[in-house]
Amino acid sequence: MRALLGIDLGTTHLKALLFEPEGGRVAGAARAATPVSSPRPGWAECHPQVLWERVAACVREAVAAAPGPVEVGAVAVSSMGESGLALDARGEPLTPILLYHDRRGAEFVQFWEREVGPEPIHRITGQVLRPIFAAHKLLWLRAHEAALWPRVARWLSTADYVTYRLCGRAVTDLTLASRTMLFDQRHRAWSDEITGRVGLRGAQLPEIVPSGTGVGRLTAPAAAVLGLPEGVMVVAGGHDHLCAALACGATAPGDWVDSMGTAAALLVLAPEFRGGGEVYRAGFSCYPHVAPGVYVIQGGLSAAGSGLAWLAGLTGVSVEELLDEAAGTPPGAGGVVWLPFFRGSGTPHRDEQARGSITGLAPEHTRAHLARALCEGLACWARANTEALSGVAGAPLQLLRLTGGANEHPLMGQLKADVVDVETQVALGGETAALGAALLAGLGAGDFQDAGGAAAATGLAWRGHRPREIWRNRYDRLYVEAYAPLYRALRPIFKSGWDKLQED
């Protein structure tokens, strides 16, 4: 059986998936916990060797789960954005992998505001200035690891590092290059203006290729660890949310996707790059899709599924049980309203100081009410972003594809249909980011002629939801009269740095 191997490096889990292109089905899959640690408040990192070993174990387990002998034709890797590590001249890690929500570079936001300016940065890179990017992490290393900095020979994003371990080539794709805030979108090259201010030389950054490009062959050492034959084609993957969008069939301008894992991304595809101007003012990023010839205009929330996981862990149930309880609770959550801003408000407000906030609590409220309120808050966040994105993208929202984590629960598909007032289709039963990586592997290996053909081959099952007229007015009132004004009322408190007072 010929199969394509997709590896996904998520914030919470690592996944390996074998996709059989001829049958359009998943032949084997495995997952393991991402080895995340937080040695100091605001830091988030993982050990690169431990990550590699767990990836290898996932690959071996996925192959063992296949119903028969597997011939792996190609492999590609997707990963979270804004994460990466420094390597020395021998290709050995100098640092842990600094994850996307690691905030140690936050002190350099003002540096970029002063040196370049937020809108010029968006015109160059397509990114809204935030503390999470590699440009900030590298400045932090330069300022705080003075003895280490001269030894930095290379910076790789997380997927690039695993690709490097697979084939020995330092290469990145357009989507992950875009998530460093070092990439010039119009020239499709590393930005001299930005890398010069970081203090990087061109050789310290990897070669850039489009997603789905063959970049090498599986080396003998990597093959031995993964339990695969030497020489398997290695293909450039991409940013996880965009790989998931590919698997969901979003390949043409005007396609919409809501991808919710640990974090959430809400995106619409556009025919061209749009840096600065209206997209910048609305707070959205713009950069290439993994499907060639199109771009994404994207909003995000740094903690979405992780907020549900936090509440589940705090109250002693699984996320699935929590969602079941929420589904059994009437709309409106008994008057409880929850702003799901665990790590900032995300788009469209881009308020990094905002935090999760609950109002309307009374003694009669239960865990189920809290769970319902959090789910409704996440749906309200989706409405805020679809409204803002529709305005700047000029693409009317007629169908919203949902994928990832909690989105697969029937509650979320119906809730987002009701709150956003749009038909939703939920991708079922697949790790779509890993599946999208497998499709990119197939594009590189020639199994598919184009991205549309790759997406059509998946055989994904879908569940559809239509807005229910009976709840339209109630959810419109929730959004207009509670969710939106609650944020406006709390914004001055967030801005005052109330949380910092707790440190005194």
SS3 category, 303: coil
Q: For 408, which DSSP code? A: G
The tokens of 175 are what?
């989507």
**pLDDT at residue 395, rounded to an integer:** 85
Report the C-alpha gap between 33 and 36 in whole angstroms.
8
Q: 2 — phi, psi (to 5°)?
A: -85, 135
Let me know if residue 29 belongs to a domain. Answer: yes
Q: Is 168 left (phi over 0), alpha (psi -120 to 50) or beta?
A: left
423 and 399 in contact (C-beta within 8 Å)? yes
Query: What pLDDT was estimated at residue 142?
Result: 97
Q: 300 lies in a domain?
A: no
| pLDDT confidence of residue 501 | 55
- Residue 254 burial by CB count (10 A; 0-12/13-18/19+): exposed, middle or buried? middle
Number of domains the chain contains: 1
**DSSP bridge pairs for 173:** 209
| Residue whose entry in the numeric block shows the structure tokens 């705090």 | 314
| Residue 52 main-chain phi, psi, to 5 deg | -60, -45
434: Cβ contacts below 8 Å, ≥ 6 apart: 6, 7, 8, 15, 16, 17, 29, 78, 243
The reply to whether 344 falls in a domain is no
Residue 46, token pair as written in the block? 């993982």
Residues 271 and 395: their CA atoms lie apart, in Å, by: 11
Range list of β-strands (E), 360-440:
399-403, 423-428
Digit-coded pLDDT (tens) for 252-291: 999 999 999 889 999 999 999 999 999 999 999 999 999 9
- Measured CA to CA, the distance from residue 145 to residue 159 in angstroms comes to 24
Q: Is residue 433 part of a domain?
A: no
pTM of the model: 0.94
Determine, yes or no, domain membership for 425.
Answer: no
Residue 227: exposure state from Cβ atoms within 10 A (0-12, 13-18, ≥19): middle
Identify the pLDDT of residue 459: 87
Q: What is the pLDDT of residue 150?
A: 96
CATH number at residue 142: 3.30.420.40
**pLDDT value at residue 405:** 87
* Pairwise CA distance, residues 354 & 74, whole Å: 43
Residue carrying the six token digits 């010039």: 184
Weakly modelled stretches of the chain, pLDDT under 50: 504
Give the integer Cα–Cα distance in Å for 378 and 348: 13
Residue 447 in any domain: the answer is no
Please report whether residue 412 resides in a domain: no
Whether residue 123 lies inside any domain: the answer is: yes
Q: What is the pLDDT of residues 455-491, one digit of tens each?
A: 999 989 999 999 999 998 999 999 999 999 999 999 9
Q: What are phi and psi of 461, to 5 degrees?
A: -90, 145
Q: Which domain holds residue 176?
A: 2-242
Q: Furthest-apart CA pair in the chain: how many Å?
A: 64
